[in-house]
């Protein structure tokens, strides 16, 4: 995983390497963020405690903020997240917001699942989602009561 920090030391981008070279990702990011500095080789401890820069629509940022409240080792359904942000019936839109999340793991969209299964996962594919959930002790994805 590679984490991009803004000049203000806010987490602004996260990507899984998935067979790519870190420098290729960094060069891609620098074409989008000309004033952002990337330093290879440094480990940021407790990067989840750094300030986060959420860039998206109001709906997307509402979804992402809510998802950041899902505890490690827990899951919530897309429809549950929609209800929590006072947009019942917007489960598909929540899924779309998850797919637009460029802060994988920091905004833990892997913790959002379908009411009857794992759902999707754009940043790293379903194998990555399963691995992240398994690392948190989650092995059953279906939400009871849906």
Q: Known catalytic residues?
A: 109
Q: State the Cα–Cα distance between residues 140 and 131, nearest whole angstrom.
A: 12
Are 41 and 70 in contact by the 8 Å Cβ rule? The answer is no
Looking at the DSSP bridge assignments, the partners of residue 3 are: 14
Whether residue 104 contacts residue 16, with contact meaning beta carbons closer than 8 Å, is answered with yes
Task: Say how far apart CA 104 and CA 95 lie, in whole Å.
Answer: 14
């Amino acid at each position: 995983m590679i984490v991009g920090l803004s000049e203000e030391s806010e987490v602004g981008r996260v990507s899984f390497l998935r067979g790519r070279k870190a420098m290729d990702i960094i060069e891609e990011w620098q074409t989008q963020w000309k004033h952002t500095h990337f330093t290879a080789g440094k480990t940021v401890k407790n990067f989840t405690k750094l300030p986060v820069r959420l860039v998206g629509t109001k709906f997307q940022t509402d979804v992402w903020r809510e998802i950041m409240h899902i505890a490690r080792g827990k899951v919530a359904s897309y429809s549950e997240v929609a209800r929590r942000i006072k947009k019942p019936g917007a489960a598909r839109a929540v899924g779309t917001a998850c797919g637009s999340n460029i802060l994988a793991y920091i905004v833990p969209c892997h913790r959002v699942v379908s009411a009857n299964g794992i759902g999707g996962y754009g940043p790293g594919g379903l194998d990555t989602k399963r691995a992240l959930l398994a690392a948190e002790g989650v092995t059953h994805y279906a939400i009871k009561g849906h």
